[in-house]
């Protein structure tokens, strides 16, 4: 990894852990529409895990795409479960911006001497 490439992975991993914790918390909260919420809670959890996988694979485009999808999901579900995922969305967006700034996933060219 480049010098600061590990930061992107750590931010994505923290986002993934946050989503798993929110999934467990929402799963044990008694709601009248429990079946719908259970399906909807899987979406951000899967997106954050995929973003963490993309960061592990050093794919800056993958991290950015999953961060954009995650932020869109958080915005659309903002009045129900989306508020629980705002910190994770912020971390994923920060990871995507940092990936673009530090050139995450780009290979350094070998210098022929």
Task: Give the whole-angstrom CA distance, residue 52 versus residue 30.
Answer: 30
Q: Positive or negative CA dihedral for 20, 21, 27, 33?
A: negative
Rounded to 5 degrees, what are φ and ψ at 107? -85, 140
pLDDT in tens, 42-56: 888 999 999 999 999
pLDDT in tens, 67-76: 999 999 999 9
pLDDT score, position 1: 46
């Amino acid at each position: 990894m480049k010098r600061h490439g590990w930061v992107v992975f750590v931010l994505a991993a923290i986002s993934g852990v946050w989503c798993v914790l929110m999934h467990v918390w929402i799963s044990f909260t008694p709601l009248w529409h429990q079946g719908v919420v259970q399906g909807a809670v899987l979406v951000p959890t899967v997106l954050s895990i995929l973003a963490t996988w993309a960061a592990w694979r050093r794919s800056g485009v993958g991290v950015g795409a999953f961060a954009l999808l995650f932020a869109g999901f958080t915005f659309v579900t903002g009045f129900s479960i989306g508020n629980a995922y705002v910190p994770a969305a912020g971390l994923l967006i920060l990871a995507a911006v940092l990936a673009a700034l530090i050139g995450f996933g780009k290979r350094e060219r070998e210098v022929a001497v």
